[in-house]
């Protein structure tokens, strides 16, 4: 299995400040022939299903605010919230969908400072 | 817009079989190029991928659950199903059905609202 490790487990950020979440995979998730990284990022608020934010490591899903961005390649990835808003308080998960089982990171809780 | 509505048994005793249904609307299920999956989340924990079924009916399961899991589908009714046998307290979780995107079949682009399944004697 590809193991996904997120850091930090939690962080507190002031409104309007930047939040950065890291995700590291135990194996490459880069499909070199098409040059795509099979990484997705989800946001989950209490009592709700996760919501897809980013896929192919850096493609924003339709309707997702542009303060959310993804970057990285091969085994190291980052989700950045450029200017944290109150509604961004949530748990964020990365997922590799390169190989089954399509594993998730353990989650990072983002709180407002 | 694709929508997923799910339902199923919410309270089980140990050794019973969990059965959940996910109904897909907003698209032609049989014509859709995507994967449909089940994902679960134990109380206060992270997300665990259970498995998926493909357009042609083939399935892939998480090896950790493979001996107990069956995912199937009914294309005529635009539904897919999860069965998990011999449940224990460790299977207590919210179970989600999900569907991939047209451009990325393997991920979970659309989600059901989740079904809480509790296993207790």
Interchain contact, B49 vs A102, CB within 8 Å = yes
Six token digits for residue B74: 């009914």
pLDDT in tens, B12-38: 999 999 999 999 998 877 777 789 999
Distance between B23 CA and the closest CA of chain A, angstroms: 16
Interchain contact, B107 vs A52, CB within 8 Å = yes
- CB contacts of B109 in chain A (<8 Å) are 52, 55, 61
Pairing of strands B11-12, B115-119: parallel
- pLDDT, mean of residues A80-85: 98
pLDDT in tens, A42-71: 999 999 999 999 999 999 999 999 999 999
Interchain contact, A55 vs B101, CB within 8 Å = yes
Beta strands in chain B (DSSP E): 3-8, 11-12, 18-25, 35-41, 47-54, 59-61, 69-74, 79-84, 93-99, 110-111, 115-119
Interchain contact, A97 vs B107, CB within 8 Å = yes
Interchain contact, A102 vs B107, CB within 8 Å = yes
Interchain contact, B48 vs A104, CB within 8 Å = yes
What is the residue-averaged pLDDT of chain B? 94
What one-character-per-residue DSSP string does A41-98 give? EEEE-TTS--EEEEETTTEEPTT--TTEEEEEETTEEEEEESS--GGG-EEEEEEE-S
- CB contacts of A102 in chain B (<8 Å) are 37, 49, 52, 106-107
pLDDT in tens, A27-47: 999 999 999 999 999 999 999
In whole angstroms, give the CA distance from residue A94 to residue A104: 6
Residue of B nearest to A3 (CA): B48
Residue of B nearest to A107 (CA): B46
């Amino acid at each position: 299995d590809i193991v996904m490790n997120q850091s930090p487990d939690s962080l507190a950020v002031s409104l309007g400040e930047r939040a950065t979440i890291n995700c590291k995979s135990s194996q490459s998730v880069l499909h070199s022939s098409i040059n795509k990284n099979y990484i997705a990022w989800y946001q989950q608020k209490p009592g709700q299903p996760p919501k897809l934010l980013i896929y192919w490591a850096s493609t924003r899903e339709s309707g997702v605010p542009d303060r959310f961005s993804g970057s990285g390649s091969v085994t190291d990835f980052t989700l950045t919230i450029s200017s944290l808003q109150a509604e961004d308080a949530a748990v964020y998960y990365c997922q590799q969908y390169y190989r089954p089982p399509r594993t998730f990171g353990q989650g990072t809780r983002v709180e407002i400072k | 817009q694709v929508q997923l509505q799910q339902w199923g048994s919410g309270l089980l005793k140990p050794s019973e079989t969990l059965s959940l249904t996910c109904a897909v609307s907003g698209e032609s299920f049989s014509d859709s190029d995507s994967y449909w999956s089940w994902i679960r989340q134990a109380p206060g924990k992270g997300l665990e991928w259970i498995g998926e079924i493909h357009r042609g009916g083939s399935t892939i399961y998480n090896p950790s659950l493979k001996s107990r899991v069956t995912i199937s589908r009914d294309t005529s009714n635009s539904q897919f199903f999860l069965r998990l046998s011999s449940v224990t307290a460790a299977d207590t979780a919210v179970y989600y059905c999900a569907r991939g995107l047209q451009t990325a079949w393997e991920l979970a682009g659309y989600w059901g609202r989740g079904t809480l399944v509790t296993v207790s004697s």
